[in-house]
Amino acid sequence: MQLQALMMFAADAEKTQELVTLVPWTFILQIINLFIQMYLIKRFLFKPINNILEKRKELADKEIREAREAKEEADSLKDQYESSLTNAHAEAAQIVSEAQKEAQSKADALVKEAQQEATDIKARAAADIEQEKKKAINEAKDEIGGLAMDIAGKVVEKEINEADHKKLIEDFISKVGA
Amino acid sequence: MSNDFSVVGPKIYATIHTGIPILGDINITETLVVSWIVMAIITGLCIFLTRDLKTENISKKQAFAEMLVEMGNNFVRNNTGGNKFDKLIPFVSALFATSVISNLISLIGLRSPTADLSTEAAWAVVVFIMITSTKIKANGVGGYLKGFTTPIAVMTPFNILSELATPVSMACRHFGNILSGVVIDGLIYWALGLASAALFGLLPGAVGKFLSNIPILGVGIPAITGVYFDWFSGCMQAFIFCMLTVMYIANAAEEG
């Protein structure tokens, strides 16, 4: 092995430059290359990608914002519904209680009316009964009177003044009826 | 197969005579040509990755491009602590991409532009100018110059030296690693060629003579060593260079 070979840098002056050297023009051109590369990367990678990232961010922000707005709207709607629901409950309760009250009063009135009617019917019946009774008594009185006159006529066999007799009999009956 | 081993510098394809005294002639070397290839690859990749971008339902390609951008953003922001240096992101990304692709392009048989000290020196000087301008911006010219006399005036020469050592060490570190990779790859191929020539030369007659001219042992083993010397070293040096760039610039802004 030729170890010197490692260190021996072939200096083929015509075709290659030295291995470790600083060539001014290469140096300058490489600086220019670096800046051109920087511009190209900026123009073709960073600008479009950053644009798209920015756009996506805006989109996401917009969606979040919209979602938040929708949520707020939904919340306010919910509050509204809840309050209207509460109102409806109260109203319903009121209606029910009113209806109950009305029904109660109607029922009371009906009952009262019925009682009144019953009382009236009872009173009328009592009066009727009284009247019937009176009538029956009177009829009975007349019957008894007639009967008594017949009996008395047959007993006495004597034509007497009917008027006198009637007076006499009425006296008798009133004594008896009392 | 030659028994001599040598590592040569980049080839010179053409020379343009300028007649400018110090700068000399423009040599269109392998370094420059491969640099342009690297730039074309990176730019082509960027254009390919950013075709038909969408905000929703993105393709894998776009996800990868976004990941690269996020990585660049996070790399600079995490190492500088904030959004102050966002201007640097494309520069650092360009530096990193160029460095990585340049280092790895040796895998397809081209000569890395980073195996030429001029390339790294160019990058390091740009970084050095950025560091210095950041320092001057942060402290003013007086503050910058006064910074050399801290902690005591006697230290001034050493401070200047350490300041100048920054770009030199950055350039030489990167260059040395890549060049060592080139040298070791060359050595391995050379040694394996010699070994296979010796091995198959044992075969008698024309077959042995024919086979001994083909470096059969050179298939396989260099791929394994290449994992370290090309892949790891190439990515690592690019990363280190960019990391140092960001750190130095971030530190420069904080001083004073």
Query: Is B5 in Cβ contact with A2 (below 8 Å)?
Result: yes
- In the three-class reduction of DSSP (H, G, I as helix; E, B as strand; rest coil), residue B53 is classed as coil
Which chain A residues are Cβ-neighbours of B187 within 8 angstroms?
Answer: 6
Query: Is B36 in Cβ contact with A40 (below 8 Å)?
Result: no
CA distance B38 to B47: 14
Which chain B residues are Cβ-neighbours of A22 within 8 angstroms?
Answer: 117-118, 121
Could you say which residues from 2 to 21 on chain B have a Cβ atom under 8 Å away from some Cβ of chain A?
A: 3-12, 18
DSSP structure string for B134-183? HHHHHHHHHHHHHGGG-S-GGGHHHHHHHHHHHHHHHHHHHHHHHHHHHH
Which ipTM score applies to this complex? 0.85
Query: Is B50 in Cβ contact with A37 (below 8 Å)?
Result: no
Binned at pLDDT 50, 70 and 90, residue A2 comes out as: very low
Which chain B residues are Cβ-neighbours of A42 within 8 angstroms?
Answer: 90, 94
- Write the pLDDT tens digit of every residue in A115-172: 999 999 999 999 989 988 888 888 888 888 888 778 777 766 656 677 777 888 788 8
Question: What does the pLDDT read at residue A114?
Answer: 92
Nearest to B110, CA basis, from B8, B210, B217, B10: B10
Question: Model-level pTM?
Answer: 0.70
Segment B67-75 mean pLDDT:
91
Question: What does the pLDDT read at residue B3?
Answer: 67
Rounded to 5°, angle at Cα B250 from B245 and B254? 145
Alpha-carbon distance B6 to nearest alpha carbon in chain A (angstroms):
6
Task: Find the CB nearest B98 among A16, A37, A42.
Answer: A37
Question: What does the pLDDT read at residue A106?
Answer: 93
Task: Give the burial class of A122: count Cβ atoms within 10 A of its Cβ; 0-12 exposed, 13-18 middle, 19 or more buried.
Answer: exposed
Summary mean pLDDT of chain B: 86
Task: Find the CB nearest A50 among B69, B125, B187.
Answer: B69
Summary mean pLDDT of chain A: 84
- Write the pLDDT tens digit of every residue in B143-160: 888 888 878 888 899 999
Nearest to B131, CA basis, from B7, B34, B248: B248
Could you say which residues from 204 to 223 on chain B have a Cβ atom under 8 Å away from some Cβ of chain A?
A: none
Give me the residue label for tokens 């280190």.
B240
Question: What does the pLDDT read at residue B12?
Answer: 84
